[in-house]
Homo-oligomer: A and B are copies of this chain.
Amino acid sequence: MKGNEAIAEAAIRCGADGYFGYPITPQSEVMEKLMELQPWNSTGMVVLQAESETASINMLYGGAGCGKRVMTSSSSPGISLMQEGLSYMAGAELPCLVVNVVRGGPGLGTIQPSQSDYFQSVKGGGHGDYKLIVLAPASVQEMADFVELGFDLAFKYRNPAMILSDGMIGQMMEKVELKPQQKRWTDEEVAQMHPWATTGKPESRDYNIITSVELDSEAHEKFNHRLQVKYRELEEKEVRFETTDVDDADYLIVAYGSSARISAAAIEILREKGIKVGLLRPITLYPFPTKEIQRLGAKMKGILSVEMSSGQMVEDVRLAVEGKVKVEHFGRYGGVVHSPDEVAEALEQKLIGG
């Protein structure tokens, strides 16, 4: 199954309520697959092709405001159009799932895989002090699994979540095990589980408001402070990562998504040469595995941050180790995917000296 199709299948199975999207390469298969599967006939899930990405994200706002599990998917330029909407959803504390199958930018760019939307995703492409929960799948299986995980985290923290994938993971086919079909929440369950949602005001409660505006700056600061507390909690509790071969390693590669797969192959090459390299693969890009990198980094002779970008995540790696170990960046970009050989060579050159 293609990565993009896995997203679609997983969405239906985990009981998502709605998908709203607009076509863009390399992820149009998500909506195409959904339309083919016609979940409105089976689970009742709504699938709608919107007039634009701007509309899509604001449809998510409306759906999420009703306590529904709603999602969209797009690729880089389309995600840029969602920045205002994402900021609004973060500001209104609405859960949703946004999939970005990244392609090479800036501008219309290429349709080839890239990882150059890291900053946009984890630092805040929209205005204001907010964060998205960002998950980085490295396989088609994770494309499927992170749909449910993304929804779970989004609802737990009432915060938009993003799956930051790329054209490689989106387009490739791999074996996937799908979970069994889960039921969608009923309207009654929604009203009970999400008392904040606009489900129609019963006599028993005051009316609900989903909003992000506040005239009084002191009150708005308090609200922002509440967001920050939430983010600290996320950083405390929800960091996810995977390590391989780190125990005996002298060098560490930090890489996510496609780059992590390629780096794993590079590590094989390097280990054959007798260079002991380990891999830390952040699964959550926000919250970032800062502590683990700090801890592991302390034992390393050097760290190579590998991304298909001119160097974005490397800043977070550097912030983690606070100058205590050399951190270098390697990555092809603009739609070019580095090979394991190139990664291996870069590590040798940049960290060992060639």
A76-94: contact bitstring with B at CB < 8 Å (1 yes, 0 no)?
Answer: 1101110110011111100
B105 contacts A87, C-beta separation under 8 Å: yes
Is A49 interfacial (CB-CB < 8 Å)?
Answer: no
B83 contacts A80, C-beta separation under 8 Å: yes
B91 contacts A108, C-beta separation under 8 Å: yes
Residue of B nearest to A310 (CB): B129
B108 contacts A117, C-beta separation under 8 Å: no
In the bound complex, CA of A45 to CA of B328 (Å): 48
Q: Oligomeric state, in number of copies?
A: 2
Which residues from B are CB-within-8-Å of A124? 119-120, 125
Which residues from B are CB-within-8-Å of A102? 127
Please pick, from B88, B117, B319, the residue contacting A106 in the complex, using a CB distance under 8 A.
B88
Is A107 interfacial (CB-CB < 8 Å)?
Answer: yes
Identify 19 new A-B residue pairs, CB closer than 8 A, beyond the known A87-B107, A109-B212, A125-B125: A76-B87, A80-B87, A81-B83, A83-B126, A87-B106, A88-B108, A89-B107, A104-B220, A106-B126, A110-B216, A111-B215, A119-B124, A120-B125, A214-B335, A217-B337, A220-B336, A221-B334, A315-B319, A318-B319
Binding site for B on A (CB under 8 A): 54, 76-77, 79-81, 83-84, 87-92, 102, 104-112, 114, 116-117, 119-120, 123-130, 211-218, 220-225, 227-228, 309-310, 312, 315, 318-319, 321-324, 332-337
Q: Would you give 8 A-B contacts (Cβ < 8 Å), ordered by A?
A: A54-B81, A81-B83, A89-B107, A105-B127, A106-B227, A107-B128, A114-B128, A221-B333
